[in-house]
Structure 1
């Protein structure tokens, strides 16, 4: 019954599951599924008490008579017994129920002997013990051997050293308690001190237990599975525009924890520093969603800014403070702020009682008052004058007691005599973060146009405001890729690609893209590859946006095309394809605008190939068609194999794309296509085709002569038209009057004619360069800028299951 993924591995990972993640039988089953998918046999699982068990235990201490106590105890038993009944089978269930009843009898005896309060921590510890035993029994029955460990037998706190962890003894005891060949489940929240008394680790205590254990075991990663999917740029319960911070610098996370972030806690992060252990916060309700990672990252992550607030702080004022007393306060009570003249400190409520006891013991006269905090946090934010100016400006009328910065320079702090209002927190968040998103940019295809796109990118990033938070993070050709989550310097991208790219396949690329650490990811497809376009379905399923010059997806089968559109809508992706037809010309925008405005398109026609436009604009009989074709090839006007242009397939695909954008359902085969390559030259090598290109000459010479006799010219034209429920679509060589709008084009120009209900007698004409590296790369940049503008104003719904 051992799951194939639950096998030993070299590095240990620690997974912690909070009370809300274990709230009921359904949640516990979900946790088992996560363990099966994400854990190995050597990993350590740390658990909190199930659901509201700890609250039920606390309720026992409030009971003043036997009836209320027995009722509270009965509620507790029923809840635990129900969990066991729903999850565990056979003798294992009986053993758990018997153990539960023994513990409840102990609690009853303490209440009857009026010593319940004296054993408070022992009683509170039972919630975690029950949770660990329950999960271990379930894993044993369904997945693999499992072993529940009571942390009171493992974690030792030094009574005379502010309850610091006794590392060596704790490590030895943990290694002794771990059972080889089994998945070990450790209780969070609880420990034992050197006097043998049970101690609890306070708020977020199970998180702290997890990171302590990770430190003792030299683990590689710690994942905190909780009820939210990460750490946000503000409390998402009150700031609806809060963004998930996908990557947080360790020093920033410590500062957030110090200031009271509801997810991170200062103690949680302490054990990680010396071992460089990676920390991740993820949602047990949405395990496939990328969470927040805490560690050491590059400049993109360091640029993140968040806002935190705390309305439950205490200011202690005392004119008699000296340096010795302030040092004790620093060491023992972790003050958030010490005023410049050393006459006051601000601390969290958890330290208030013991701080007052200390001050009274020193015979100091002091006073306390409630204060609140509003802070902006970011890596070395003190060096960001623009952020400081915005913070000061938005607080101008809020009347803070003081505005300062932290000693390490990672936060600006404002303290208030009154509570911070929801409106003020939202206002500060909006002004200092400007609701900015990190947008990762991956470019696939580094040919002629791809290289030009990259050449233009540094200037675009510097001067276009919409690209302020866009970062180049990936480059790919058909065989090699360079992915760097910390960002790739755009001005040096091609050199870095040459030096650092590695072989890859498409599935490896999709795997990385599906775990990207950005708010949004945009892939720019500048390949002609049908295989690469086949990845679009996977990309859309991961919420990845696509800017495409690749015509293959838009001209694929109707079933595939419709599925792409459905996935795009389902997963809220954007797919911009302006450069698939007409390079940078706004033909797609025109069609979309007409349809969205209520118009109906009846006909689309034009010259869609820059190559064929150049050939027939210059074919006047002064030289043979084959020589003109060779000249076009040498000047780079054609594809490497000119038959790709002469076959008409490119024009056929473009007409299909435009007809579909106009709302019509048809296949590529529904468009008649005249192939200009003689049949005997279609299946030979490129070299053989070029040697025998003169076989083209007589056909085109005859066509030209016939056209000139009619004062006309040759043009390769695409036409789509509807008549009632029927339509006709064809791409072919046509003879046109020299006065026809399609006749007088600058070589390489495209022209598009749209006839609609609104444009009947006088069609809408769009004309201009339809090929070339500059205009095509420019069209891609246009799509990218418009997409980034859209993404900047889009808000993703934050799903909250409740924050502990």
Structure 2
């Protein structure tokens, strides 16, 4: 027999006179799922035919092939009643589906007669299987062929009811194959001759053939099938034989994607891939064409286009001999339900033929190996295979190497369960330095352990075996690392002043962020203590503007009562977004929420100090999780609002400086009060002024207590590595403790003037010494002290005026002239800007 490659390279093909614009259209099972879907198929076929000649190849209706196979198995077991009911059900499905397409009396009568004949033949075949007690490969092929015969013949008749140029062409008349142990082997020369005889004349007369996929005929004339992806193969065979312009494979997705969208919601359609890339993608788990399907098209260099029946205007993905230059890595794939087989032994080192015996043993057991990794010392060989084959593979290898095992030359034949593979594929990887480094860096950054590695010399793919529990996170991390994910998703807890301002800033700056960082910043939703609004596709600009302008969350369309945090996380996780940032703009104790969010793989940005100032063990757990999972945890806005205080502190530590002491004023409210006392204003009047300006909390005692400054000081101390608890901060409030026992703010304001004289005396005493009063935090190895202190008027802290914050770093490097950072430290605007800055730090890091 002449091989397909040599035949297609020869000049014996069919002359393409008049067929330069020929398209072969193939529709799969989902496209033939019901009357609505088949109606779409009919519309597409008619539209394409109006532009030029077409040949249409169709699969069986969705699920029919499996149902026919089960019928054969039930016939073999002798279950006639179940068979009769299932046959009737299949007939009704076809009848109802295709009668819904056309209403003509002649068409309806023909459908009834055709179904009567076909299902009569099916019933007779099933009776024969039951009587003989045999369900042979030939009987199976004959039975399964009816799925495609029914769908293609019925579609052809439905199309012909309104356009007589459509006709049926039985693929068994022109695809000839020899049946071997490995499956159908197409006789391409004979198939070409038959295509010339049966199909080309139809096209020459302006007819449009509709043919069944999947089925063929043996040289002896028996019905046979082409095996897995048989209908795609049929389309490629007839397309190559006719030298079609393109072969269009219609399915239920817009094309080949950069990742499985059920794992990575941001996965995008690739406009173009090469034949080699498509073959690699299919092998390593992507739902693309089977490599065998492409062989006829590759030999003729006919482009294959993947299209969506349900979105026919989408351009799809074209598979050609050339690869698009960008992206370098085209897709990230994964395969699950695998096992790792490891064979080890010193007796394997330097012994020829060990690998050959290993693969021969597995081949005899009909076990397919997906991935191979061997150490250069030859001490071990790792094989990745289907989990279902693991036990049989161990038994086969133990039989083959029985003597070596007895003599301890082969020391270990072990299986690791719960394995998956992740792979990157792209022709642009060839010769490009740093690809493998980035691949493994992405896995390492997210603490995903690699148990085996493989890369072909073609450099088209790199694969790693990992624990199956990590596969989703791995695909998302790699997809992001290679720039295939360009979205960052935010979910906001807290819709107070800071939260509202943050939403406004995001809405106003989204275009600038997209232009500068090549990142689309999207808000998945927001929650307050009672309600939430969740939008998996992201809140639109109108909603962001409304919420940013002060509209109530519960008033938004789609807002619901807030569920438990666990349910919020479940819903967020179910979006399969790669990079999600939880933003905490509340004042609640959210430590448990932060910890659980990190455990689930979410980044966290917080302006809320409480999670970082609860128990030391919770702080340690937050830091441990962020490091172990390689996640962003940003909290610059917890002290100093938008000032780069935390960044500076971390930079000093990371560059080897030793911090001796940090002193500062970390409350804009208390700083304003101290400035007004310097101006001679009575303390009670200064507080009233601060309240009118919006500098204080609703209950100003929350500021006057100094607890907010104490929390900020504790965050700084813990950043320095001091394992302090909040109770260990030495805190002296700005006013006597008796005022904190009063029942209301009104009572406070009524009695506060009694403090004026004492506060005036303290100001005068400090002034007499050339000093001023400041509410100061002092942090050193000796501990943390937060209190009102007398400070030299000409020092950086003494010169502070108004609601600004200041932090003075005295370090080994900055000893004589301490490092000073000063600026606005209060207000929703600067705090929200600090939060947004932290979000963008995460965007840059991924």
TM-score (norm 1): 0.53
Give the corresponding residue for 2:606. 548
Seen in structure 2, the aligned counterparts of structure 1 residues 151 and 622 have a Cα distance that, compared at 3 Å, is farther
* 1:482 maps onto 2:541 in alignment: no
TM-score (norm 2): 0.51
Seen in structure 2, the aligned counterparts of structure 1 residues 716 and 391 have a Cα distance that, compared at 3 Å, is same
Structure 1 position 721, deviation (Å): 1.2
Distance (whole Å) between structure 2 residues aligned to residue 597 and residue 432 of structure 1: 27
Give the corresponding residue for 1:416. 320
Distance (whole Å) between structure 2 residues aligned to residue 196 and residue 580 of structure 1: 76
1:680-707 Cα deviation digits (max 9, x unpaired) = 2111122211121112212211110101
Distance (whole Å) between structure 2 residues aligned to residue 667 and residue 597 of structure 1: 27
Match of 1:711 among 770, 784, 787: 770
Match of 2:200 among 310, 320, 332: 320
Seen in structure 2, the aligned counterparts of structure 1 residues 149 and 585 have a Cα distance that, compared at 3 Å, is farther
Match of 2:615 among 557, 572, 576: 557
Give the corresponding residue for 2:440. none
Structure 1 position 430, deviation (Å): 8.9
Seen in structure 2, the aligned counterparts of structure 1 residues 378 and 614 have a Cα distance that, compared at 3 Å, is farther
Distance (whole Å) between structure 1 residues aligned to residue 81 and residue 519 of structure 2: 51
1:368-424 Cα deviation digits (max 9, x unpaired) = 899999999975999xxxx999957999x9997558784813343334359999532
Seen in structure 2, the aligned counterparts of structure 1 residues 156 and 625 have a Cα distance that, compared at 3 Å, is same
* 1:698 maps onto 2:728 in alignment: no
* 1:573 maps onto 2:631 in alignment: yes
* 1:618 maps onto 2:637 in alignment: no
Distance (whole Å) between structure 1 residues aligned to residue 320 and residue 795 of structure 2: 75
Distance (whole Å) between structure 2 residues aligned to residue 391 and residue 324 of structure 1: 33
Q: Is the 8 A contact 2:273 2:322 kept in 1?
A: no
Structure 1 position 539, deviation (Å): 1.5
Structure 1 position 152, deviation (Å): 5.9
Structure 1 position 656, deviation (Å): 0.4
Seen in structure 2, the aligned counterparts of structure 1 residues 354 and 633 have a Cα distance that, compared at 3 Å, is closer
RMSD value, Cα: 5.2
Give the corresponding residue for 2:829. 774
Structure 1 position 562, deviation (Å): 1.1
Q: Is the 8 A contact 1:373 1:415 kept in 2?
A: no
Please say which structure displays the higher CA radius of gyration: 2
Q: Is the 8 A contact 1:472 1:488 kept in 2?
A: yes
* 1:350 maps onto 2:230 in alignment: yes
Distance (whole Å) between structure 2 residues aligned to residue 710 and residue 744 of structure 1: 15
Match of 2:568 among 496, 509, 527: 509
Distance (whole Å) between structure 2 residues aligned to residue 367 and residue 731 of structure 1: 86
State the secondary structure of the residue aligned to 2:610. coil
Give the corresponding residue for 2:814. 759
Q: Is the 8 A contact 2:674 2:773 kept in 1?
A: yes
Seen in structure 2, the aligned counterparts of structure 1 residues 348 and 455 have a Cα distance that, compared at 3 Å, is same
Seen in structure 2, the aligned counterparts of structure 1 residues 419 and 770 have a Cα distance that, compared at 3 Å, is closer
Distance (whole Å) between structure 1 residues aligned to residue 722 and residue 542 of structure 2: 42
Give the corresponding residue for 1:528. 587
Give the corresponding residue for 2:219. none
Seen in structure 2, the aligned counterparts of structure 1 residues 365 and 788 have a Cα distance that, compared at 3 Å, is closer
Distance (whole Å) between structure 1 residues aligned to residue 735 and residue 320 of structure 2: 80
Give the corresponding residue for 2:47. none
Give the corresponding residue for 1:442. 491
Q: Is the 8 A contact 2:588 2:608 kept in 1?
A: yes
Give the corresponding residue for 1:295. none
Question: Which ranges in structure 2 are unaligned for 5 or more consecutive residues?
Answer: 1-62, 98-120, 130-134, 148-185, 216-226, 258-266, 279-297, 325-329, 331-424, 431-459, 461-477
Distance (whole Å) between structure 2 residues aligned to residue 728 and residue 624 of structure 1: 33
Distance (whole Å) between structure 2 residues aligned to residue 389 and residue 404 of structure 1: 12
Distance (whole Å) between structure 2 residues aligned to residue 430 and residue 543 of structure 1: 15
State the secondary structure of the residue aligned to 2:711. helix
Distance (whole Å) between structure 1 residues aligned to residue 774 and residue 80 of structure 2: 81
Q: Is the 8 A contact 1:604 1:659 kept in 2?
A: no
1:465-521 Cα deviation digits (max 9, x unpaired) = 347333211111121111121321144232583233222244343443343431122
Give the corresponding residue for 1:456. 505
Match of 1:333 among 213, 230, 235: 213
State the secondary structure of the residue aligned to 1:464. helix
Structure 1 position 595, deviation (Å): 2.1
Distance (whole Å) between structure 2 residues aligned to residue 432 and residue 606 of structure 1: 40
Seen in structure 2, the aligned counterparts of structure 1 residues 577 and 354 have a Cα distance that, compared at 3 Å, is closer
Q: Is the 8 A contact 1:445 1:525 kept in 2?
A: yes
Give the corresponding residue for 1:138. none
Seen in structure 2, the aligned counterparts of structure 1 residues 789 and 149 have a Cα distance that, compared at 3 Å, is farther
Match of 1:471 among 522, 526, 535: 522
Give the corresponding residue for 1:732. 787
Seen in structure 2, the aligned counterparts of structure 1 residues 167 and 593 have a Cα distance that, compared at 3 Å, is farther
1:647-694 Cα deviation digits (max 9, x unpaired) = 110000000001111222111112101112222211112221112111
Seen in structure 2, the aligned counterparts of structure 1 residues 701 and 463 have a Cα distance that, compared at 3 Å, is same
Give the corresponding residue for 1:589. 647
Distance (whole Å) between structure 2 residues aligned to residue 393 and residue 354 of structure 1: 21
Distance (whole Å) between structure 1 residues aligned to residue 240 and residue 755 of structure 2: 104
Structure 1 position 442, deviation (Å): 1.1
State the secondary structure of the residue aligned to 1:554. helix
Structure 1 position 367, deviation (Å): 6.0
1:613-647 Cα deviation digits (max 9, x unpaired) = 11112212532110011000011011111111111
Q: Is the 8 A contact 1:754 1:765 kept in 2?
A: yes
Give the corresponding residue for 2:556. 499
Q: Is the 8 A contact 1:401 1:416 kept in 2?
A: yes
Seen in structure 2, the aligned counterparts of structure 1 residues 402 and 750 have a Cα distance that, compared at 3 Å, is same
State the secondary structure of the residue aligned to 1:462. helix
Map 1:108-507 → 2, pairs under 5 A: 125=73, 155-156=86-87, 193-197=122-126, 320=200, 322=202, 329-330=209-210, 332-333=212-213, 350-351=230-231, 366=241, 391=271, 402=303, 406=307, 408-416=312-320, 422-424=425-427, 434-465=483-514, 466=517, 468-493=519-544, 494=547, 495=551, 497=553, 498-500=555-557, 501-507=559-565
Seen in structure 2, the aligned counterparts of structure 1 residues 473 and 366 have a Cα distance that, compared at 3 Å, is closer
* 1:689 maps onto 2:748 in alignment: yes
State the secondary structure of the residue aligned to 1:641. coil
Distance (whole Å) between structure 2 residues aligned to residue 746 and residue 703 of structure 1: 18
Structure 1 position 552, deviation (Å): 0.1
Seen in structure 2, the aligned counterparts of structure 1 residues 511 and 699 have a Cα distance that, compared at 3 Å, is farther
Seen in structure 2, the aligned counterparts of structure 1 residues 389 and 124 have a Cα distance that, compared at 3 Å, is closer
Match of 1:643 among 701, 726, 734: 701
State the secondary structure of the residue aligned to 1:534. helix
Pairs aligned (count)? 501
